[in-house]
Amino acid sequence: METIDTKIYAENISKYKGVRLLPNATLETVFHNESENSNIRIIAQPPVNTGKRKVNILDEENAQGGKRAKTLDSLLSFATLQSPDVKNFSHKFYDRDQALNSILNVARTNYAGRKSSDHKDHEFILIPGGIGIGKTRMGWESQHLFSSLKAKDSDTDDFVEALKDPCYIFIDLNNGSKYIEGFDEAAESSVRIGTRVAVSSGLVSESLSDLSEMNIKLFRLPDVIYEILERRFKTKQRSVEAIVIHLDEYQLYINDVRKYQQASWEDARDYFKSMLREIGSVMRGNMMIKTESGHAGNSYHGLNGRYFIIPICTGTSAIDIHFLPTEHTNKRLELKPLNYDSAKSMFLDKYNYSRQTTESNRELVTQGLKKHYSFTFGEDVNDLSMKLCNLVLNQQHFRIAMFDSGFIPKFIDDLLQPTLLMSNFDWGNHLFISMSERTVATVGNAPGNWKKLDDIRTVISFGLTRQLVKRDFLLPSRTSIGELERAGLIYLSNSEDEWYTIVMPFMMLKILNNKLLVSQVETVFPDHLLLIPTHDSPWQWQNFELLYIYYQKAIIDSLIEVQRSMVLSIQHKIQLLQSSLQQEVEANKRLQINDEIKIREENLISQINMNWRLSDIFRDAIGVDTLLQRRVRLRRLKVFTEKEKFLQRTDSVANFDKLILCDDNVTRSFDEGIFRCYRGYANIIHRWVLDSSDIEKKLAIFLQIKYSERDASTTISTPFIKKWYETTMASVKNYETEYDVVLVLFTNRRCLGTLNIEQMPQLLLIYPENIEMYLSPTFAHR
């Protein structure tokens, strides 16, 4: 007996005079009574756990007569599509109805245009975003649109029926369908996507690497789609079929094209996009398939109008896929972080007994209950489980840790890693360690790394100030925001059109800030103030009070950094245009580049001369418009603590003095920093000076904090605010000779009464209704 381990089945059958056992053949047709010792006999048996027959695809010969295989159908062993692997998620799908509706609308468009050959009648879906934002899950849920959404009255019955059970094809370009050296360089685009669709749809059981060594020319996409539809129509018995083709991690395929083909970014992206063009061609009805007698179209198979395709691309990069106006419409879905309610539901999915769907998960929850209650409980297990869940949910340090995740789905999963629910678990530090283990703060030249520490500082600045940025914005290293997103290092939240804010979860800020701590770049915050609360050391209002002045400093420093980086970005782009101009020989293109350079140079001058407003420093604060629009010229300030009181009592009037004695026994000018007032100050807790951008006086900022613990029900009345305003203005009236005085009141207490801000023209108010915009989601929960 000789055992042969090879994938070249046709050669072995020919060499050893073997016979292939066809799917519908009986043993008797091959194994006769007489002995045929010269033949090798092969029986292909499927693995027990899959129930699939092994597909024995010939390269050069047809098993029945030694003829060359002419059609894909002659190579296939399955009469039906084999069921794909089912993903098991640890939680249900939350807070994505808007994105699901967008997918459903694309489905409606493609259904309506299923008989049209016009590319404008067919749409692609692109879902870009940072690692763990939920892109893959979003694409996966496209097969369950009508499980969570309702059909419109205008939706036809066949459309609804098709989407209740579409043919969902998940092509993982990172695992199972990734780039194969040798195959992907040589195969035409229709075959590259066709083989992947065949494998992922269950049309064959061979792996992509197996197919790549066989007669791949028969796996053109139209032929594969035809075979899929033939099987679907036989089993589903309906008039129209919906096919979802979900390509995941497309940026990794593009990376491999660059690596193995030494291609430019432009060429690598177009190489991937050529597979999308093949999908688009089939969407438009270009379904010429190979038959025994040649090629045939709709007159042969009659599929025109009987199917529609929903193509979905998910990956970290939004800059890799772009369709021209003459190509297909690209519908981009921008996924934002989840919210507290969704995160809470994910927590309950993991730890609440009543939500468990398997016996093993119920046993884990029971173990946690036994560990917590320390006895064999007699109460209803559902009630006890809910009690423990509520106990943890109401713990301050857990709630803060939940918000510290920024509600990025992957970070929520990191937070909820513990198998058993414990009442005294250190959630915040667990999240910090889990996130730190990712390469979110690695600086180097390798793909996926930050290129410079200055880039980290700039990204933090945009994240804190929530200044809008485009994906083509260039950082100090000349890396674009889009490239950082592509590497999975940042998260963007769409604001309007092509403008985005950078999402900066508190825990990511702490990790990036720590990276600056061990470098020559100044940190944004003293690390000890970015406190992670625990069960035994909760977050208190004193912690916020210590942090606040550094937050205000960070906003000022970050606005300076944002402006500096905007200037650098424009300068970098001008240099790139000048380089292109030197290489360009065509006259019209040289004129276009020159015009673009002039526009950039004008933008550069405007950016250099730009000054910030008070509304940028005190974002979303309540105040009269003339005050909010005051322009200031920012400079970096340090934080100092005063050694003496300059205001003894509430009704005291402070003497004007520009020199301040600090607790390090150094006397400094009022213009020199942000000063934390001596403890026990009346009316005021911080003060500093901002330079005016014009000939007007400088601004003297006097700030008071009225803060209560988060769950306290303390309120503040509008008469109290008015009285504080009048009293404090009287206390600092001597400063009005040299400065325009601005009072800032910060409070987390609920405001009672009607506020007439016009009666307090020098007041900026930050209170619960605008506190999240002012502090940003990074700090608002603290």
pLDDT digits (tens, 9 = 90+) for 623-632: 999 999 999 9
Distance CA(353)–CA(361), nearest Å, equals 8
Instruction: Give the pLDDT confidence score for residue 226 in this predicted structure.
Output: 96
Q: Evaluate if residue 295 carries a pLDDT over 50.
A: yes
Three-state DSSP class for 742? strand
**pLDDT in the model for residue 54:** 38
Buried b (16+ CB within 10 A) or exposed e, 729-744: bebbeebeeebbbbbb
**In the structure, what pLDDT confidence band is assigned to residue 744 with cuts at 50, 70 and 90?**
very high
Residues 6+ apart with CB under 8 A from 482: 317, 318, 319, 471, 472
SS3 18: coil
pLDDT for position 292:
85
What counts of helices (H) and strands (E) characterise the chain? 27, 21
Mean pLDDT of the chain: 88
Inter-residue contact 477 to 749 (CB < 8 Å): no
Q: What tokens appear for 270 in the block?
A: 């177009």
Residue partners of 471: CB distance under 8 A and separation at least 6: 318, 319, 480, 481, 482, 485, 492, 498, 500
Q: What confidence score (pLDDT) does residue 408 get?
A: 96
| Bridge partners for 642 per DSSP | 662
Q: Which residues of 102-132 are buried (b: 16+ CB within 10 A; e: fewer)?
A: bbbebbbbbbebbeeeebebbbbbbbbbbbb
Element at 111 (helix H, strand E): helix 97-112
Band of pLDDT at residue 2, cut at 50, 70 and 90: low
- Nearest residue to 617 (alpha-carbon basis) of 744, 725, 502, 524: 744
- The label of the residue with tokens 């003459």 reads 326
Amino acid letter for position 412: I
% of the chain residues with pLDDT over 70: 90
Dihedral-angle region of residue 237 (phi above 0 means left; psi in -120 to 50 means alpha; beta otherwise): left
Q: 671-699: per-residue pLDDT in tens?
A: 999 999 998 777 899 999 999 988 789 99
pLDDT per position as a tens digit, 516-574: 988 877 899 999 999 999 999 999 888 998 999 999 999 999 999 999 999 999 999 99
C-alpha 574/C-alpha 478 separation (Å) is 12
Nearest one of 35, 34, 53, 55 to 45, comparing CA atoms: 53
> Is the model's pLDDT at 66 over the cut of 90?
no
pLDDT at 32 over 70: no
Neighbours of 543 (CB within 10 A): 15
Instruction: Quote the pLDDT of residue 695.
Output: 78
Q: Which candidate, 339, 400, 309, 447, places its Cα nearest to that of 709?
A: 400
- pLDDT tens digits, one per residue of 223-277: 999 999 999 999 988 999 999 999 999 999 999 999 999 999 999 999 999 999 9
pLDDT of 513 reads 95
Q: What pLDDT sits at residue 84?
A: 75
Eight-class DSSP state of 488? T
Would you call 534 exposed, middle or buried from its count of C-beta atoms within 10 A (0-12, 13-18, 19+)?
A: middle
Tell which residue, 285, 261, 281, has the closest CA to residue 271: 261
Query: How many angstroms separate the CA atoms of 157 and 714, rounded?
Result: 56
Strands (E), 718-762: 739-747, 750-752
Share of the chain above pLDDT 90, in %: 70
What is residue 48's predicted lDDT score, i.e. its pLDDT? 34
Beta bridge partners of 167: 243
- Which residue bears the tokens 């200031």? 632
Cβ atoms of 45 and 196 closer than 8 Å = no
Distance between CA 18 and CA 8 in Å, rounded? 13
Sorting pLDDT into bands at 50, 70 and 90, what band is 67? low
pTM: 0.83
Query: Are the C-beta atoms of 363 and 385 separated by less than 8 Å?
Result: no
Q: Convert the pLDDT of each residue in 462-474 to its tens digit.
A: 999 999 999 999 9
* 104-149 residue pLDDT tens: 999 999 999 999 999 999 999 999 999 999 999 999 999 999 988 8
- Cα-based distances in Å from 21 to 75, 76, 206: 13, 13, 17
Tokens 């009986």 locate to 26
Q: What token pair was written down for 73?
A: 């159908």
Where are the extended beta strands (E) located within 638-685?
638-641, 659-661, 667-669, 673-676
Q: What does the pLDDT look like over 749-763, one tens digit per residue? A: 999 999 999 999 999
pLDDT at 757: 95
Tell me the one-letter amino acid at 183.
F
Q: Distance between CA atoms of 672 and 698, rounded to whole angstroms?
A: 13
What is residue 42's predicted lDDT score, i.e. its pLDDT?
58
Closest CA to 506 of 406, 362, 367, 578: 406
Is the predicted pLDDT of residue 33 greater than 60, yes or no?
Answer: no
CB 702 within 8 A of CB 742: yes
